[in-house]
Amino acid sequence: MYTPVILSLLLLLALVSSASNAAEQRQLKVYNWADYMDKRVLRKFEQETGIDVVYDTYASSAEVEAAIVAGGQGYDIVVPSLDFMAKQIRYGFFKRLDQSLLTNYGNLDRLILRKAAKMDIQNAHGVPYMWGTTGIGYNLDLVAEVLGDDAPTDSWDLLFKPKNLAKLAQCGVSVIDEPTELYAIALNYLGKNPNSTATSDYRQATEQLLAGLTKHINYFDSTDYAERLANGEICVALGWSEDIYQAMAHAKAGRPGVTISYSIPKEGTVQRVDMLAIPELAENVSEAHEFINFLMRPDVAAANTNYLANPNAIPSSRYMIDEAITQNQAIYPSQAVQAKLFTNNPRKTRLRQAIEDEWTVLIGNHKSAVADR
């Protein structure tokens, strides 16, 4: 029989053991775009490190911005766009990285680092994860049916010419819900600076181009458009390269005979660089650095690119990537095409509010147009 003293000692030992085990349970909380990382990569990280990954997703820049401005909401890693990260650095929302913990840092593409350093001085707060373009995904056969074989699929004319858009409405059109990207594309198409600081330019883009979209498109959506394109619900999507290539893969696997293509319009478009960053109030900072370092391994970067069909920031991973991806110039564009790509610069508060006001009106008009159909 145990005496009260012995029972107390056993209970104390059990509590100490339980606390020790709890302390050993390392955790990492990641907040990323929906379907923007191979789940097998996450499992591999957990297996190699013993770190439990809590992985949540968002569907728009507004969602991650709200989370970061609210203090990070407990996340240790977020994946903001370069322009968004640059905007928030000035307010102290991201930690400075400890590059001594990033032993794979030398694997990064120097050209991309230099581009990032223009917005994140000395690359102090973020590491490039993936980059891509915003372009046109389309169902080759359905578009040919409504516009003919000479449809201008290599040009923004496909969507910005009212006569084309009206016909495409027969088979369905979706546009990403990302106002800064759409305005940059529209301004560039109009021959203006895509990063214009004149509010009158944004009003002109609304009146001459974007207002017309609301009359004919089916969706302003950044989450489900790839699936809709793959299953034939829509025939054209203005969206992100990696999403369109997933639509291609899904169509090929599940809908034989459906051909999805992607084009970078000849007028030029947005080049996005998505970053890995640590919110200022992150709790698992060591684990966050470990995860970033893991993602910079060539084999891991290649795995994500093979899954996403999106170019990564690790040049030495290229020989491990499917040739169908590396040789496709819509994914890895030529130097001539890259020369026409532009990034989104952070907008000042006044201009950002003007863009949001314009966008709110556009979304409202679109909802009314859909209700009236």
Same domain, 231 and 354: yes
Same domain, 264 and 279: no
Pairing of strands 269-277, 126-139: antiparallel
Pairing of strands 236-240, 126-139: antiparallel
Same domain, 100 and 141: no
pTM confidence score: 0.76
338 is a domain residue: no
Same domain, 322 and 349: no
The predicted pLDDT at position 212 comes to 87
Judged against a pLDDT cut of 90, whether residue 255 lies above it is answered with no
Percent of the chain at pLDDT > 70 equals 93
Residues 325, 305 contacting (CB under 8 angstroms): yes
Same domain, 189 and 86: no
Same domain, 71 and 191: no
Handedness of CA 90, 359, 341, 132 (dihedral sign): positive
Residue 268 has φ and ψ, to the nearest 5°, of 110, 160
Tens of pLDDT, residues 7-24 = 444 444 444 444 444 457
337 is a domain residue: no
Same domain, 301 and 364: no
**CATH code where residue 15 lies:** 3.40.190.10
Same domain, 128 and 160: no
Distance CA 241, CA 135 (A): 7
Residue 304 tokens, joined: 């994500």
258 is a domain residue: yes
The predicted pLDDT at position 369 comes to 79
Task: Give helix 285-295 / helix 39-49 axis angle, nearest 10°.
Answer: 120
The predicted pLDDT at position 232 comes to 92
Same domain, 76 and 88: yes
| Structural domain span for residue 278 | 4-132+273-332
Tens of pLDDT, residues 55-96 = 999 987 788 888 888 776 789 999 998 988 998 898 899 999
Q: How many domains does the chain have?
A: 2
Residues 72, 279 contacting (CB under 8 angstroms): yes
The predicted pLDDT at position 256 comes to 76
Judged against a pLDDT cut of 60, whether residue 347 lies above it is answered with yes
Same domain, 227 and 149: yes
Same domain, 165 and 204: yes
Distance CA 352, CA 45 (A): 38
Distance CA 106, CA 97 (A): 15
Residues 126, 115 contacting (CB under 8 angstroms): no
Tens of pLDDT, residues 161-190 = 999 999 999 999 999 999 999 999 999 999
Q: 261: part of which helix (H) or strand (E)?
A: strand 260-263
Same domain, 118 and 151: no
